[in-house]
Amino acid sequence: MRDWEALVEERLTALELEPAERAEVIAELAAHLGETCEEWRRQGMTEEEAIRRTLSQVEDWQKLTRLIQTARIKENIMTNRVKQFWLPALLTLLLSMGLLMLIQVFGPNPWLVARKSGWSLVAPVAVVYLPWLLSLPLIGAMGAYLSNRGGGSQRAAFGSIIFPVLPYLVFFVVALPVMAIFNEHLAHNIMFGALFVGLFAWVLAPGAALLAGGLLAQFFLSRRLDSRRIAGS
């Protein structure tokens, strides 16, 4: 008797699905081929003829792989990507930006970090909004929770947590150096200092705050999931 699962597995090597989902597809197609072949045999065909007729159901396995892949993944990825990454990421960004604006308008004065020369501050100056920094762990935790609830991977959760600092990262790593190169009115002697101070105040410190809350939430969420699994087993 023919091993239809081995045959289908061999022909669908390019099928990229989650292992469990892939195994399901292979088992289902193999069962279909097996039943078709049995039917031909019942009708009196020789085994070779039945197998040949059965296999003629699929003219192009590569095309079938592509069609299954598109049918099972395309719509899935779109909705999953939104649930697991884009929605939590945009919510954390929106919330952190909104909170920063509120703190800038209604909150206490920012903390200015700079070298002092007599009574005056010397550039580069870092403007740090402490209440904002303190609120970021909560926002990071929310990003982790939402991504987790949507079934997101650790990578998706990580992306959602640090998403609010990405615009600043792009600014300091790409926009500022480009401006420094093309704008001759910028004082180049303070640019490197400003770059590092800015990176610390707007990327590293907020990123660390977001990650502190987000990773802690991830840790507790995964522990809760583990305990549920243990209880369920």
Partner 1 sequence: MIGSGIKRGTAELAILSVLEGSPLHGYEMARRIEQQTKGALRFTLAALYPMLYRMEQRAWIRGAWETSSSGRRRRCYRITPVGKKKLSPLRREWAELFGALRRLTKVSNA
The contact pattern for partner 1, residues 69-108, with x = CB under 8 A and - = no contact, is -xxx--xx--------------------------------
Contact between 8 and 26 (Cβ < 8 Å): yes
Contact between 32 and 55 (Cβ < 8 Å): no
Quote the CA–CA distance of 105 and 94 in Å, as a whole number.
Answer: 17
Residue 121 sits in the site that holds partner 1 (CB under 8 A): no
Residue 63 sits in the site that holds partner 1 (CB under 8 A): yes
Count of positions on this chain that bind partner 1 (CB under 8 A)? 23
Residue 16 sits in the site that holds partner 1 (CB under 8 A): no
Residue 68 sits in the site that holds partner 1 (CB under 8 A): yes
Contact between 133 and 96 (Cβ < 8 Å): no
Sequence-separated contacts (24+) of 187-193 with Cβ below 8 Å:
190/123, 190/124, 193/123, 193/124
Nearer to partner 1, 64 or 205 (CB): 64
Q: How far is the CB of 157 from partner 1 (least distance, A)?
A: 24
Quote the CA–CA distance of 84 and 189 in Å, as a whole number.
Answer: 44
> Rule CB under 8 A: which residues touch partner 1?
24-25, 27-29, 31-33, 35-36, 57-60, 63-64, 67-68, 70-72, 75-76
